[in-house]
Structure 1
């Protein structure tokens, strides 16, 4: 049979604990084809494509044991970028097409979130006449991509957040004094991550006691009232809060602590809301309070990754290659949850033009009427995503990883 065209894969945006599992799935599926050619990896995403900085993944992963290490390695093995292609003209897109043709690349895969899907959409439109297939592989801990039940990366971040909340709640609750612990969790416009803190609740713990999401207006006075009500019945109150909570005027609560900077894509770079609320509680309630920002471990704690998340991320990469080889292009891989009590996921390829530049927020049915917690419907949705633990390969007492 005729040899396949070469393929190129890249990673973009914020890393996750399982983005490399999607890479592993794509590598495994492409190289398992007896007619495969060369699978290249773009170093630092689309910037690497523009620079023609490629790795020969056939050679790098000729030793299949490296795939096992890749599966448990956090961050982006190929390197990432936050680079927006110019929308003023198509010069960069046309340059990319020229580079792909020069290297006899017939398949392009891009693992990323919202902005990465926009790149795939634009590239697929121009590549259509050249026969180059472009497929997006979803990745984001924010869980805000539309069209898919959930996103690879979210389950592992949710598992880490719930674990951290559970452990910190035990630590904060060991003293017989009134105190408040405020935990800041990532999430600019969508509160999926902060909502996942509710998964910490077990038969031995009710923490977090309060959860505030950016989908609902935040009010300082109501926040203080909620804490006072909890303190009537308990010594320790644990609060989970999204970094992107806003006041009724549309301003981020975090903006009152420092000037908000913007990233390459025009998104506000947030952080510091827990310190703002820490000062508010201390000044108004006069009790012991501590603000904690979970920060980077939310997206790179692969030692505590969800095995469900790892396996689904792998299958997304695997399915992307299958779709491209069958002639699909301009699509993003989506996960579809079957109806019924048993958790079951299938995979499909959706038109990326219906996904790029859109955002899925936490629906009202997942948020309680008091705007300070989630509902049982959310728990039913999220709990299956954090199930399972992987048998991790260790070296000198710590998890072993692979580095480019």
Structure 2
């Protein structure tokens, strides 16, 4: 089948990561290599911007190696993002816009919900008899997309939290006389990949984190208090990492007796989270001063701790998406698969799967990655995740507090 000549458009959707712009840069770099591609448009603010015909010329703005490299190392989403579910009339409006601008190649970087959007546009164009090649570029720090080993964005948040947890642990130990218990509530939605990554900087048994709770296991508050007290008695301080949707024995997210403060257009509910509730329990039931940290959006998009591996893989995912679309394929999401290099080490390989296999589904942590007690991760998880974070975590000096000076007086 001969390749069709036309214009290409790229959008970004969902929560921005440290490397989503690397995927954008990789897609543009690949599109620039193909004479079939005319204009290279960027849709501002995802499909919401496309509905308003808010397009920019990416060939003009970032069409040089220097600009593409700058884009690769820029945090968050350069084009802007949205969380927006198209209705039937809006899909027809977008089809008219695609025809108006002769867009034949449609690339959309995002996660589960963005795959749903891309899938619907692909189906709509086929039904209308309009040749459009729609390919999804994977993106999510939650690492919960099925059909792939890991997702662009995950390696960078994993590196961020591994370093942040080590730093927080050192601070908590230093402040053990004042506030010795620290809870760190992290993102990840209904999967524990993000919470688990906090372990990746741990070198000694006494180092933080001491406890990790993921949404895959329900958490009994009484058992949680017992875990914290045991660690505190052993080390004099305790750092526990908690996924944002960890549920209690009744199946409800801990501390969410109230209504969610936000429900987005895809039905995702947002609560204030379990850390504040659990902190209160520690203070009330154990009589120990506790604090909690909740990094928020900075954890998912900061360039400060971006993984070099993640940056390079995200670039290639964007390039593969453009290559597949221009090559005549459609209705697919790029996948990242685990292979081996010539020395038996980690290597990322790239494939594709149908968009409907990704849309509105979640891939949670395997049982083998969580310990029997449900309060930590296993070596299997560490072996899985370490290659993704791009090199070792900084090692800090640790003074020997037991080596007290003795005098002869």
Q: Normalising by the residue count of structure 2, what TM-score does the alignment of the two structures yield?
A: 0.91
Q: Distance in 2 between matches of 1:176 and 1:124?
A: 57
Q: Distance in 2 between matches of 1:24 and 1:83?
A: 23
Q: Distance in 2 between matches of 1:299 and 1:176?
A: 29
* Range with bigger deviation, 268-277 or 347-356: 268-277
Structure 2 match to 1:187: 188
Written as runs of structure 1 = structure 2, the 5 A alignment for 1:148-167 is: 148-167=148-167
Written as runs of structure 1 = structure 2, the 5 A alignment for 1:128-147 is: 128=126, 129-147=129-147
CA contact (8 A) 1:41 1:56 kept: yes
CA contact (8 A) 1:141 1:193 kept: yes
CA contact (8 A) 1:243 1:254 kept: no
CA contact (8 A) 2:169 2:207 kept: no
Matched, 1:51 2:14: no
Residue 257 of structure 1 and its aligned partner are, at CA, apart by 6.7
Aligned pair partner of 1:95 in 93, 96, 99: 93
Q: Which has the larger radius of gyration?
A: 2
Q: Distance in 2 between matches of 1:218 and 1:342?
A: 36
Give SS of 2:182's match. strand
Q: Distance in 2 between matches of 1:61 and 1:279?
A: 50
Question: Which structure 1 residue ranges, 4+ long, deviate > 4 Å from structure 2?
Answer: 257-260
Cα 1:2–1:262 change in 2 (3 A) is closer
Written as runs of structure 1 = structure 2, the 5 A alignment for 1:131-280 is: 131-177=131-177, 179-203=180-204, 206-256=207-257, 259-280=260-281
Q: Normalising by the residue count of structure 1, what TM-score does the alignment of the two structures yield?
A: 0.92
Residue 204 of structure 1 and its aligned partner are, at CA, apart by 8.6
Q: Distance in 2 between matches of 1:313 and 1:237?
A: 35
CA contact (8 A) 1:3 1:37 kept: no
Q: Distance in 1 between matches of 2:241 and 2:195?
A: 6
CA contact (8 A) 2:260 2:269 kept: no
Structure 1 gap ranges (5+) = 390-404
Cα 1:176–1:137 change in 2 (3 A) is closer
Aligned pair partner of 2:387 in 384, 389, 397: 384
CA contact (8 A) 2:3 2:36 kept: yes
Q: Distance in 1 between matches of 2:259 and 2:3?
A: 59
Residue 188 of structure 1 and its aligned partner are, at CA, apart by 2.2
* Range with bigger deviation, 354-363 or 250-259: 250-259
CA contact (8 A) 2:245 2:273 kept: no
Q: Distance in 2 between matches of 1:113 and 1:2?
A: 28
Residue 259 of structure 1 and its aligned partner are, at CA, apart by 4.7
Give SS of 1:197's match. helix
Give SS of 1:356's match. coil
The RMSD of aligned alpha carbons is 1.8
Q: Distance in 1 between matches of 2:72 and 2:17?
A: 12
Give SS of 1:94's match. helix
Per-residue CA deviations over 1:273-318 (Å, capped at 9, x if unaligned) read 2111111101111112111111121112112100000000000000
